[in-house]
A and B are shown apart, each in its own frame.
Chain A
Amino acid sequence: MPENTSPAMSEIPFRARATLWIQREVGRVLSIFWIPASAFALRFVTRYRIKNASHLRKRFRALVRESDEPILICANHLTMVDSMLVAWALGGSWWYVFNYRRMPWNLPEYRNFASLWIGRAAVWVTKCIPIKRGGRREEVSRVLKRVRYLLSRGETALIFAEGGRSRTGRIQLDSIAHGMGRLASSVRGCRALVVYMRGDRQRTWSTVPAFGDSFYVDFEVFRPHSERTGVRRSREYTQQIVDRLVRMEEKYFARRK
């Protein structure tokens, strides 16, 4: 069986490691403000509600207690605040303040969130590494190497299965992000936590969900596997994650009938 690590991705320069450490620690110190404030805004300003939140959080905490191994959260993507909602659904605010490494690192689109200095500052504090989707391969690879490094240190990361928001409102199979399988296959012991989330009033993609919407959230955890190597191995990992996500979406729509 092939080794579950990719040597070329195992190291990033010292400068990058130091920068990530500073980013993490500044974010951690400030987390007492930004995490509860984010949760407050979701709950009381936009009046969003996660159905079954306490059950979801119990399951997630049990998962974290069960093993220290890294978790790559792979979710469907319909709105620009999905990463906040997924994190909120799984952990709750104060729990993250005291379990900061379980607050997922996120890869927002640079053009949406980091083109202005204020946006760059905000995403830097809130555990984000902006990425230019569809940008130069070396740039995308540089970001993935950083996430790979963080995962290998026991951090949690969130990546959207479709790269961008689904233009069809369903899992968009023609725009699946290969980076997801690449990360999962290159980090030893990495578990894929597949999340399907959808607001009751979410018909298709949008900037933000409708105010006051209630969200169905479900997740499954598994370890993708493959006997292959190279790109084909990453591709098989990606496919296994996507297959799960598609099944979860089918389950969601079957329940709504």
Chain B
Amino acid sequence: MSREEIFAKVMEIIGRYAKNREILEGASEGTNILEDLKVNSARLVDVILDFEDEFDIEVADEDADAVNTVGDAVTLIEAKIA
């Protein structure tokens, strides 16, 4: 799966939880999930669990700590499915 395909799926998942729809439209890999997209920090766990289901991966709590931006999420998933 290419990085672009992962990015598209990641955006689809994050879109379910993002409150800032305007920034979501033009989001890039540098977009911060909590601060820019206004995903509630309590819902970040749901986002990670959705990643697990979508990409058939397992994420440790420590791996999840590194996810601040959309690009971080894509990098994490890319590494897990490699």
**Chain A residues engaging chain B, CB cutoff 8 angstroms:** 6, 8-9, 133-134, 136-138, 140-141, 163, 174-178, 182, 186, 229-232, 234-235, 238
Contact = CB atoms under 8 A, between A and B. Distances in A.
A138 B66 CA distance: 7
Given A141-B62, A231-B52, A235-B49, A133 B40 contact: no
Given A175-B42, A234-B61, 19 more contacts: A8-B62, A9-B61, A9-B62, A134-B34, A137-B64, A137-B65, A137-B67, A138-B66, A163-B41, A178-B42, A178-B45, A230-B52, A230-B59, A230-B60, A230-B61, A231-B59, A232-B52, A234-B45, A235-B45
Contacts of A232: 49, 52, 58
Contacts of B61: 6, 9, 141, 182, 186, 230-231, 234
Nearest to B32: A136
A231 B68 contact: no
B60 A231 contact: yes
> By DSSP majority rule, is chain A's interface helix, strand, loop, or mixed?
helix
B58 A229 contact: yes
Nearest to A6: B61
A137 B66 contact: yes
Contact of B48 (A8, A140, A174, A231): A231
Closest 9 CB pairs of A and B: A141-B65, A134-B41, A8-B62, A178-B45, A137-B65, A230-B60, A175-B42, A230-B58, A231-B59
A6 B63 CA distance: 12
A176 B64 CA distance: 17
B41 A231 contact: no
**Among B42, B45, B52: residue with most chain A CB under 10 A:** B42
Interface in B21-73: 34, 40-45, 48-49, 52, 58-68
